[in-house]
Structure 1
């Protein structure tokens, strides 16, 4: 649909091909199949019956009725993604849903993550604190208060509705529950208000159809009813309105048209793969009687193609790929098109797929017409006689002429022009960042943006078996707290409750190992940083540039600490700071030296 809208029904302004003004429509789905409010109800029932992961939470927030109800825009969704990752939300709406799945662990649920976000608005993460079993997050700002409040309200309403799904109830009671869900979770713009009216109408029809029934239904029954209503809905009758209609073969049966054009009749997609693989002996019918052709998916699709052929009154056009898109090598004719050509019974070269003498025949006399694969193919614009080639597709014609012209030297598609202005002052931290990653610094200076080194992913399972990176992350948090002088037990409790490790003996073993390593590195750091501390402002005059910066010294030592093995970046950072300190060295003071701790 987006490609259709981008290519047709455009504003008839200058520069457009007349074909862009054609009124092209898709065979629209039914209102029940495309109603986002009914999608909200279906997703809500799925959350109850499935694990309700962090991905499900973010996807639920992006549903148009939910996003409109709680004010989640594009920027808010991006920030929600970061908050969900930082709060270690994995799966489960709350502890009750975890218990239904046989698990008593309460960390990393939707509710636990939202509680961590809320407490972060009132309490800082340092020193390590905990309110019951909830610890605050880092990087939570006051501007996130409204967004966190809206997310907390969403989770609260989902929990309220989900608790009512646990018990069996009569159809009338289920209708009341669904109305409450629509009222609490969905809203639309004024022009889309039909979506809520239609959803309430479907619920009313369900209640009317089950009036007088005393049977009890559960959430699975309601989910099946809603799924059946969405799948069994027929399409809207938008045929015959003068538009160029794009649909599938199933909708062409019994509908006559002047011209029928079928796209993509290749062996990879039509008539499709059989329902049973040839070597799957367990699914073969054996001695059972042969099934009817209507149960064979391939036979049904071939019949639909025949129906489309018979429904064409003037023209029946088939467009398929005849050459490889990369190499241009000819592809063999597909089985379906070969059968169509045989049924047409055109003799001679005019009825062949690719004959050597077909280029000598007029195009209107051949059954198969070949066109260039790209819109700038010269064959589409070449004319006989002295006429100049012309086309409404000006860009395609320019490309065709460029291909016919003599080759010219290649010009880079894009080139990043670095600024030629030289700064008179350079900070030592800028110099360090440049030597660590020159491309990133140049990109930031030239474009004002940069590319992050990696994109964090939403986690959907508890950390039962932690990899090296997850273990290092927990140990690094412990190391930061211990280096800041906080108590070891409080630091351990803070990481334990954050959800980074699994509660129980498995998580305790990981924490004990990381705490011992973090304590060792932190003690080494405190031993060399406990002396005299001072900040030295250093300046060095270079050729037209002044290098300056503030260097932190502990008893004339420049110290760089890292939890884990020191990397070359750490050695480079220490060395550059040491060079600046030595260049600005005062003869009366002791000469500084560098120290790496890891």
Structure 2
């Protein structure tokens, strides 16, 4: 019922609402709305993915934004995103059409769902215009009942509580009061919304006031019935006395006079009534400390005044009288102070009882390696081997334990982009380099990125594009000479000491294997290049050189031919199989830092590894990855065999770097 009432109030607020993507999707998630538009619950995940991929943030269209006082284009509006989705479904991923960039997010069998989403948005636009005008009470009644029919469908299950009839009765009763009072004037949308906010927020009658030995109730006037014990909850400074924002049409609130009622004064009187009604015990509960930083939070002003009165009226050699009456409970139920025997804050929750004895470190994640999964472990695809060595511990958790640590972010953004996140910036840079290599001009790239909504609005987006264009031009100038004489991708089918290696090797040219990335060189880039370089040398095609090259924004790395690639791959495959049985103590960035320090010969290997693992100011360490925290809880990840693995994996790689790249 509360969900349906909140959805109804959201619809009444359409003329002034931003219609942000999360709010509108929440509207569609309401069961009654889903039934009306025939959207299944499992289909909401697809709709959410469409909204994210098409770039919808807020606003129905450009006209809606102008009504809100913002002279902006229709970028990132619902109309913008829906046009992209429909064009992508019809034409697929392709070129701009009349300034619209297609978004091919909807698959062939999802046409019906896309059509229902379009119908839902069309109905929102229609009612956004209808609810803006002032009307008589009778017209409002007819209009709002039609609004319920357009957006809500009754529950199909007889056992399911249907709140629609109650909502219809509320509409008829509220607006019927105007007719009974003989009011024939026009009612503005603000008045209507305020009226229904009050009607739908009024508490239900519920049970009788005095129905048992313990009574739970709100603090309302005329309930000053004597009780042996009265306990007041939630007496926080920001919650009591309550603040009431007056309605915009309330002229009395703008010019208050002596004798006008105020919510704060009423609440102060209610507190006095509760104080007088307590015969034996008055208990006041509040949140005394902030749960984030444990700082002291002040009580309600009426509680503070009561404390001051007690301190002035009573004196004690043990200190303030009020302090002796106050019991401070721990913020968390598992605090050891709940079980130290203090009668005022003793806990009886057995699940939080501390384990007796001295504190011990948590047990290791795995006490012994997992049993071998079978011979299928020896069927290895090249792409899986590359993925394993980019993060061996995460690969183990995902492939052997089915633990997914990087779930997609469920929160939809509701504001247009101002500055891209690091990953988004990298994706834009990578796309810009690919566009330059494909021969696209800057103007064409800018039009495409603006049409997709990937760039911020206005000059911010133009400045960002120029910065990306300079980055792409510099990287493309280095990469272009390496892309001469392209070679077709090679099929990989090789047997190495019982392992069956399969897959395809692409990115081959006359000069060898070429890779590039619009980012600084990472340890995983070196490992990926090394693995593909070994496969290239194992296949030894005649049409290209047995060399490999990776171009990054800060340096270019080249690898020489390998005399015995099978032996190097055999060692990496043996470690791969070991890493499928237990978390491997190999971390691409930290292991690289250790080996570089070892090659420098200054004895600072442990210091370099710890610095990369722990990070620093505004520089997260590799050890902050959740996969490492899970796999090495109660353990020391930089202990043996970490140094040996770093040398075994990165040692041969560094030995095959060309002389100019020997010192990375």
TM over 0.5: yes
Query: Unaligned 5+ residue runs, structure 1?
Result: 1-33, 276-288, 356-366, 382-390
- 1:445 maps to what in 2? 399
For residues 66 and 293 of structure 2, what CA distance do their matches in structure 1 show? 58
| Partner Cα distance (1:507, 1:371) in 2 | 52
Which of 502, 505, 514 pairs up with 1:559?
A: 514
Tell me by how many angstroms 1:522 deviates.
5.7
Q: Which residue number corresponds to residue 14 of structure 1?
A: none
Q: Say if 1:418 and 1:197 are closer, same or farther in 2 by CA, change over 3 A.
A: farther
User: Counterparts of 2:293 and 2:127 in 1: how far apart (Å)?
Assistant: 57
The structure 2 residue matched to 1:421, chosen from 372, 380, 395, is: 372
Residues 510 and 544 in structure 2, CA contact (< 8 A), matched pair in contact too:
no
Alignment partners' CA distance in 1, 2:496 and 2:395 = 23
How many residue pairs were aligned?
Answer: 523
CA contact (8 A) 1:88 1:499 kept: yes
Deviation at 1:87? Answer: 0.9
Is 1:52 matched up with 2:22? no
Residue 96 (structure 2) pairs with residue 142 (structure 1):
no
Give the TM-score normalised by structure 1. Answer: 0.69
Aligned to 1:210: 178
Q: Which is worse superposed, 190-199 or 458-467?
A: 458-467
Q: Is the 8 A contact 2:232 2:284 kept in 1?
A: yes
Give me the whole-angstrom Cα distance separating, in 2, the residues matched to 1:260 and 1:305.
11
Q: Contact 2:21–2:51 (CA<8 Å) still a contact in 1?
A: yes
Match of 2:55 in 1: 88
CA distance in 1, matches of 2:312, 2:465: 75
**1:495 — aligned with what?**
449
Q: Distance in 2 between matches of 1:456 and 1:561?
A: 31
Once the two structures are TM-superposed, the CA of residue 446 in structure 1 deviates from its matched residue by: 3.4
1:261 is aligned to 2:231: yes
| Among candidates 524, 528, 537, match of residue 492 of structure 2 | 537
Pair 590,512 (structure 1): closer, same or farther in 2 beyond 3 Å: closer
Once the two structures are TM-superposed, the CA of residue 196 in structure 1 deviates from its matched residue by 1.5
Residue 176 (structure 1) aligned with residue 142 (structure 2): yes
Contact 1:478 1:518 in 2 (8 A): yes
Q: Does 1:119 align with 2:87?
A: yes
Equivalent position of 2:9 in the other structure: 42
Question: Deviations along 1:272-295, whole A, 9 cap, x unmatched?
Answer: 7999xxxxxxxxxxxxx9988975
Structure 1 residue aligned with 2:339: 377
CA distance in 1 between partners of 2:135 and 2:52 (Å): 37
Alpha-carbon distance between aligned partners in 2 of 1:488 and 1:530, rounded to the nearest angstrom = 26
Whole-angstrom distance in 2 between the partners of 1:596 and 1:128: 30
Task: State the match for 1:307 in structure 2.
Answer: 273
CA distance in 2, matches of 1:259, 1:413: 51
- 1:265/1:337 contact within 8 Å kept: no
SS of residue in 1 equivalent to 2:90: coil
User: What is the CA-CA distance between 1:593 and the residue it aligns to?
Assistant: 0.7
* CA–CA separation in structure 1 for the residues paired with 2:503 and 2:424: 35
Alignment of 1:276-355 (within 5 A): 295=262, 297=264, 301=267, 303-312=269-278, 316-317=282-283
1:241/1:581 CA distance change after superposition, 3 Å: same
Structure 1 residues 558 and 134, CA, compared in 2 at 3 Å: closer, same or farther? same
Give the Cα separation in 2 of the matches to 1:559 and 1:144. 39
Cα distance in 2 for residues equivalent to 1:378 and 1:493:
68
1:164-204 deviation digits (Å, cap 9, x = unpaired): 12333333323222222211112343456652222222222
Match of 2:192 in 1: 222
- Tell me the residue number matched to 1:157: 123
Alpha-carbon separation, structure 2, partners of 1:448 and 1:327:
36
**Whole-Å separation in 1 of the counterparts to 2:204 and 2:438:** 65
CA distance in 2, matches of 1:541, 1:64: 57
Separation (CA, whole Å) in 2 of partners of 1:49 and 1:371: 44
Change (3 A) 1:497 1:337: same
Deviation, 1:380, is: 8.2
- Give the superposition deviation at 1:152: 1.6
Cα 1:421–1:564 change in 2 (3 A) is same
Relative contact order, higher structure (CA 8 A, sep 6+):
1
Deviates more, 1:369-378 or 1:105-114: 369-378
String of CA shifts for 1:536-569, please: whole Å, max 9, x gaps: 4253625x65555432232261111334555443
Distance 1:415 1:474, change over 3 A: same
- Looking at structure 2, the residues matched to 494 and 440 of structure 1 have their Cα atoms a distance apart, in angstroms, of 36
The correspondence for 2:205, drawn from 212, 236, 261, is 236
Counterparts of 1:504-523 in structure 2, within 5 Å, are 507=461, 510-511=464-465, 514=468, 518=472
Displacement of 1:578: 0.5
Q: CA 1:207 to 1:252, structure 2 compared with 1: closer, same or farther past 3 Å?
A: closer
1:398-434, Cα deviation, whole Å (9 max, x unpaired): x37x53xx44754439659763426324333223223
Equivalent-residue separation in structure 2 for 1:416 and 1:146 (angstroms)? 52
TM-score normalised by structure 2 residue count: 0.63
CA distance in 2, matches of 1:272, 1:512: 55
- 1:370 and 1:519 map into 2 onto residues whose CA distance is 64
